[in-house]
Amino acid sequence: MFKKILIANRGEIACRVIKTARRMGIQTVAVYSDADARAPFVSMADEAVHIGPSPAAQSYLIADKIIAAAKQTGAEAVHPGYGFLSERTSFAEALAKEGIAFVGPPVGAIAAMGDKIESKKLAMAAGVNVVPGFVGVIEDTEHAVRISGEIGYPVMMKASAGGGGKGMRLAYSEQDVREGFEATQREGLNSFGDDRVFIEKFILNPRHIEIQILGDQHGNILYLNERECSIQRRHQKVVEEAPSPFVTPKMRKAMGEQCVALSRAVGYYSAGTVELIVSGADPSGESFYFLEMNTRLQVEHPVTEAITGIDLVEQMIRVAYGEKLAMTQEDIGIDGWAIENRVYAEDPYRGFLPSTGRLVRYDPPVAGWEDDGAANGRRGVDGVRVDDGVYEGGEVSMFYDPMIAKLVTWGETRDAAADKQVAALDAFEIEGLSHNIDFVSAIMQHPRFRSGELTTGFIAEEYPDGFHGAATSDRVKAHLAAIAAFIATARADRARQVDGQLDGHLEPPYDWEVKIADQSFSVALEDDVMVDGEPLDMGCSYTPGDRLVEAHIEGETYTVKVEPNRTGMKLTTRGAIHQVRLLPAHLAHLTRHMIEKVPPDLSKFLICPMPGLLVSLNVAVGDQVEAGQPLAVVEAMKMENILRAEKTATVKTVNAKPGDSLAVDAVILELE
């Protein structure tokens, strides 16, 4: 077996590979940029080599620096993780020339499947179902418009070398193609160094299902069941699960065997994933089409590990060393259900705008890589696993992907795995930047998710007006009112004891008027807990200063994040933020004297919604603009965001120019 492996990646996937290598008795080498000097994966590795400045193009994407680090440290193999150089044939070829093993597939398979245009041609030649589209080189926007019209709208424009949701645009009309084609080219060039784009028909009611492939260098290829990855935003996966609630055993076998045949046709070995688009409108489940093959480990691989018990990273290393697979297709089973949620640095309450900054507080529901304490490393502690690569006090940088962590839960049933997600998300503490924890918790509770009726349009269809928090029943609000009153009494009692000037004779309030949104509750705590005159069976433990409160009310368990403020407190639980106002009952009548503060009108300003780079400015002083007209493009975390006019107006002043780095809430221009 290899004695030393270098990981040509960063963040949680670097930690993931190091963990398995350590268990196998293999030493590890990390490479890191300036931004990652204090990252956990650097300290976890046995050795670490600095490879350059923070931008990936000056560090992680320079193959010569990776190879030099491998030679310097005596690493016998390189694991590329995902992204960066993982699917670049020139990197695998350069390693081979230096006699360094590549922990991945052969160069020929990467070349055949890594290019979306060429892979579609190969799939067609092999008799695999493919989505109708144009697989040649598209010359310019006008050419793209003609092709799209011939295929028929809607169409999907994709960067040929793309992945991870980057370089993809859905077009419902000619105008969409004209607005999005060049942006798709730029994203492909910026993220992958390749500006080629192809266009294909967009399948209606599509489900995104992928088959995990594992092969060795002796001709053995297996499929390790499927993953459902239909819940996506901007074509980037948000929720993944295994198995799929849609796939039948017959369909699984048909998909798996077809994907194995395709893999065999290109001489594939190592771990890989064949992605399929499945028409949810076909109840037979037979309308599935080849989308692409990712010749690497997938971000969502933990859910497959959880239901099969197979460590995919270990298998990749063993295959790269030349070992045969120790299992056959008959050995691959499905044990329970696993769900993965990607915790991103973004603000779902503000249109999912990227959020960068320092993790003032980071406390996941179970320990991470340093000491996970897991009885089963593929399922985590009590069915909860966190894959992360960040630390409290560290920074989520604008230079890399905004993913903070992956939360994986396993249960005997799909509902059990989803329930564990909700509970674990409530216990996940992140402060200092925005995150999507409330949003993914809301998805886990959504009736449509629980029914399994998923498509890639789930988010757009269920949250057409944006995300404003999970739906909260009146019953849950009443329970939160009781929790808020309990906290308020405890805080008042603590203040009385600390002050010490009244000899402890002043009793804290036990009766409260609590307002949550537009609902008011009368809560009494002195004897039994009463809400609006109805008794509640409640147990709650709180010490002033606690950030999390666990309460048991009427058979339900709540984990609630608590943030006191001037008018009461903010309570966050089960995917929703609740601004709670409360007063002692004998003072509540005074609220009628309070003056309502009206927020200022900011509609005349074009405000930068996130930290980013101003790529283009489409207007100048004096220009007339119409509602919905594109005014500027801001790039953040490798994604371009079009900023549009909210109303018809005239440009009064312009405060920025293309190339400027903008802070959040910076005023780009003013309208009149």
Q: Indicate if 292 belongs to the active site.
A: yes
Report whether 562 contacts 551 (CB < 8 A): no
Which of 390, 400, 393 shows the shortest CA–CA distance to 39? 390
Place of tokens 């967009």: 202
- Number of residues written out for the chain: 672
For 92, phi then psi, to 5°, come to: -60, -40
Helix (H, G, I), strand (E, B) or coil at 86: coil
122: which 2 tokens?
Answer: 């190969």
Report whether 407 contacts 424 (CB < 8 A): yes
**Residue 439: partners with Cβ closer than 8 Å, 6 or more residues away:** 348, 467, 575
Catalytic residue among 292, 300, 635, 640: 292
Would you call 313 exposed, middle or buried from its count of C-beta atoms within 10 A (0-12, 13-18, 19+)?
Answer: buried
Report whether 228 contacts 245 (CB < 8 A): yes
CA angle 78–81–84, rounded 5-degree value: 95
Helix (H, G, I), strand (E, B) or coil at 532: coil
Half-sphere exposure of 527 (CA within 13 A, CB side): 3
CA–CA separation, 7 vs 380, rounded Å? 23
Which of 291, 308, 298 shows the shortest CA–CA distance to 243? 308
Rounded to 10 degrees, the C-alpha dihedral 432/434/437/438 comes to 120
Query: Which whole-number Å values give the CA distances from 65 to 5, 52, 60, 178, 541, in the listed order?
Result: 15, 9, 8, 39, 54
Task: Provide the residue type at 357 as one letter.
Answer: G
For residue 339, the Cα-to-chain-centroid distance in whole angstroms is 13
Report whether 470 contacts 607 (CB < 8 A): no
CA–CA separation, 54 vs 57, rounded Å? 9
- DSSP 8-state secondary structure symbol assigned to residue 283: T
**Residue 341: partners with Cβ closer than 8 Å, 6 or more residues away:** 238, 239, 406, 407, 421, 425, 440, 443, 444
Q: What is the DSSP string of 371-397?
A: T---SBTTTBBTTEEEEE---TT-EE-
Q: Residue 221 forms beta bridges with which residues?
A: 215
CA–CA separation, 398 vs 52, rounded Å? 16
Residue 601: count of CB within 10 angstroms of its CB: 7
Rounded to 10 degrees, the C-alpha dihedral 524/527/529/531 comes to -30
Report whether 306 contacts 382 (CB < 8 A): no
Rounded to 10 degrees, the C-alpha dihedral 182/187/192/193 comes to 50
For 109, phi then psi, to 5°, come to: -70, -40
CA–CA separation, 488 vs 583, rounded Å? 9
CA–CA separation, 80 vs 8, rounded Å? 5
**Which residues are known to be catalytic?**
292
